[in-house]
């Protein structure tokens, strides 16, 4: 295989060729620390592309999350790399570029559930990417270009445009997709002018266009990180700190904000839950993605967006928090969400008769954090006449005696058709329904190929495709809760 940088040697299995750990930008260290990504250098001879490349520096997940979400650590500085799966003999096929989640501080494109073999089997060239995380990717450092993680994603998409034809892909048929922080990254890319023309379709799984930081909050975060390290908040000073120390401090700060939320200091992080996110810096990102999309950004891009029914069960059930929530704690948590607490509780109690306070908290937070932003994206685009398709993943995991429900990240193995991957079992169990994976994966493939996943676009009847053991379109599910957040979220 020959690309712009040189020759690659991959491997072939069952008619699918894979090329792993291919650099798309120079290692972001040394003189390039906190700099915009630079195109990767070429090489002499044939480069082996048989193993995943280095992953971006990150702290890793803490218990109990680490038992549910797989994580991969590969040492090395050449972390701005990507992976490609393509069918043998491919030519002019549509392309899917996957942007991983992980709250903008964890994750990588090397996670086995993201193996793109099933997409390649079904006629789609699949690419997964790494990008810089935490302070390196999203810290607002004076003198450094802001939103470097987003710039990395644009650099990866530029590489795809310039090289994917060699893998049998069509650079004019690129779909970007992601889950959680990856979906929020997709929404950000929809809003960024430098990304225009690099993709024609987008898939957002459990993330949309509301989650960003203001410059004021982002400056507070980086100043606190620097203070704890005993250095100035500058490129030179932070660049002199050992990477492990920087990662430790950013992780400690994020955990402390989550444990002791202070709205007067941490503002939107108190409810967003992430100390590092894309920043409305006024240069690259001039407003919230949802507002730029409402103004017409990426109007010509076809979009598939959706969420899982019980997103926040992932965050509250394994930790035991949901079982400890009483009426007082429920009202205290929901008081941060910007509308009348009793109205929130009353609406969800009516929708979920007999629900415990913990279950009401899961429902309300799932909507505020995930479902309502997805609905707003669909509504906004529908008003512009832009094709948008909405789904809900509703299959309940058997884990934690069924209390995990259709939680955050559960759908990924279904959309990638990778239920047989051992890393899917901690969340989905040993006997997840393959028929559901068949249906979801086919819808994703159809969308990547045609822009039509198989159900009507979101419009006046607010059609949502509900994926479960029995799947089908549903008109305006969860209407009372959706109306509750009107004008608030």
Residue 211 · residue 184 · CB < 8 Å = yes
Q: How many beta carbons lie within 10 A of that of residue 44, not counting itself?
A: 7
Eight-class DSSP state of 279:
B
408 is catalytic: yes
Our answer to whether residue 311 is catalytic in this structure is yes
For residues 281, 283, 287, 289, the Cα torsion angle rounded to the nearest 10 degrees is -100
| CB distance 37 to 131 below 8 Å | no
Does the bond joining 64 to the residue before it have cis omega, within 30 degrees of 0?
yes
Alpha-carbon span 214 to 268, nearest angstrom: 8
- The CA angle 59-63-66, to the nearest 5 degrees, is 65
Which position among 224, 311, 392, 411 bears the catalytic label? 311
CA angle at 475 for the pair 470 and 479, rounded to the nearest 5°: 115
Q: Which of 180, 185, 322, 397 is catalytic?
A: 180
Report the C-alpha gap between 257 and 422 in whole angstroms: 33
Place of tokens 């941490």: 266
Identify the CA nearest to 314 among candidates 389, 248, 391, 412. 412
User: Please, are residues 467 and 426 in contact by the beta-carbon 8 Å criterion?
Assistant: no
Calpha distance 244→348 (Å, rounded): 43
Which of 77, 161, 89 lies closest to 127, judged by CA?
Answer: 161
User: Phi and psi for 98 in degrees, rounded to 5?
Assistant: -100, 130
| Residue 141 CB burial class (10 angstroms; 0-12, 13-18, ≥19) | buried
Q: Minimal CA–CA distance to 371: which of 487, 214, 204, 212?
A: 204
Query: Which residue among 100, 211, 312, 408 is the active-site one?
Result: 408
Q: What whole-number distance in Å separates Cα of residue 244 and Cα of residue 444?
A: 38
Q: How far is CA 153 from CA 75, 204, 232, 345, 389, in A?
A: 21, 15, 28, 40, 24
Token pair of 233, please? 């908040």
Distances in Å between the alpha carbon of 480 and those of 345, 380, 390, 394, 476? 12, 19, 18, 18, 10
Torsion angle defined by CA atoms of residues 409, 254, 372 and 455, in that order, rounded to the nearest 10 degrees: -30
Q: Which residues are catalytic?
A: 180, 311, 408
């Amino acid at each position: 295989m020959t690309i712009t940088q040189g020759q690659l040697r991959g491997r072939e299995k069952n008619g699918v060729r894979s090329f792993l750990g291919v650099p798309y930008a120079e290692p972001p260290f040394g003189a390039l620390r906190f700099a915009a990504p630079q195109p990767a250098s070429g090489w002499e001879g044939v480069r082996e592309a048989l193993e995943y490349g280095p992953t971006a520096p990150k702290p890793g997940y803490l218990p109990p999350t680490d038992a549910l979400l797989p994580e991969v650590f590969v040492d090395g500085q050449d972390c701005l790399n990507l992976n490609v799966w393509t069918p043998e003999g491919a030519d002019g096929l549509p392309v899917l570029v996957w942007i991983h989640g992980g709250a903008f501080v964890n994750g990588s494109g090397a996670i086995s559930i993201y193996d793109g073999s099933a997409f390649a089997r079904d006629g789609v060239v699949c690419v997964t990417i790494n990008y810089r995380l935490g302070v390196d990717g999203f810290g607002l450092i004076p003198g450094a270009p802001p939103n470097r993680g987003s710039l990395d994603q644009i650099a990866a998409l530029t590489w795809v445009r310039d090289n994917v034809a060699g893998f049998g892909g069509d650079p004019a048929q690129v779909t970007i997709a992601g889950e959680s922080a990856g979906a929020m990254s997709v929404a950000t890319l929809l809003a960024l002018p430098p990304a225009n023309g690099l993709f024609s379709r987008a898939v957002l799984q459990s993330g949309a266009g509301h989650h960003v930081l203001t410059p004021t909050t982002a400056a507070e975060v980086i100043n606190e990180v620097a203070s704890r390290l005993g250095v100035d908040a500058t490129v030179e000073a932070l660049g002199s700190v050992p990477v492990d120390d920087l990662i430790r401090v950013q992780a400690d700060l994020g955990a402390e904000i989550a444990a002791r939320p202070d709205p007067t200091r941490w503002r939107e992080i108190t409810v967003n839950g992430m100390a590092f996110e894309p920043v409305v810096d006024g240069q690259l990102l001039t407003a919230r993605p949802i507002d730029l999309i409402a103004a017409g950004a990426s109007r010509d891009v076809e979009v598939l967006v959706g969420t899982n029914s019980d997103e926040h069960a992932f965050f509250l059930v394994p930790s035991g928090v949901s079982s400890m929530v009483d009426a007082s704690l429920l009202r205290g948590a929901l008081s941060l969400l910007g509308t009348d607490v009793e109205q929130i509780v009353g609406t969800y109690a009516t929708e979920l008769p007999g629900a415990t306070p913990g279950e009401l908290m899961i429902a309300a937070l799932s909507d505020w954090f995930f479902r309502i932003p997805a609905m707003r994206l669909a509504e906004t685009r529908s008003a512009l006449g832009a094709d948008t398709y909405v789904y809900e993943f509703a299959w309940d995991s058997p884990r934690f005696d069924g209390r995990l429900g259709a939680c955050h990240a559960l759908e990924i193995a279904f959309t990638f058709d990778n239920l047989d991957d051992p890393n899917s079992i901690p969340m989905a169990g040993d006997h997840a329904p393959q028929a559901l994976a068949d249906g979801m994966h086919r819808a994703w493939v159809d969308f990547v190929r045609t822009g039509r996943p198989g159900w009507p676009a979101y419009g006046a009847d607010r059609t949502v495709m509900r994926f479960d053991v029995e799947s089908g379109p549903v008109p305006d599910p969860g209407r009372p809760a959706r109306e509750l957040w009107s004008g608030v979220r």
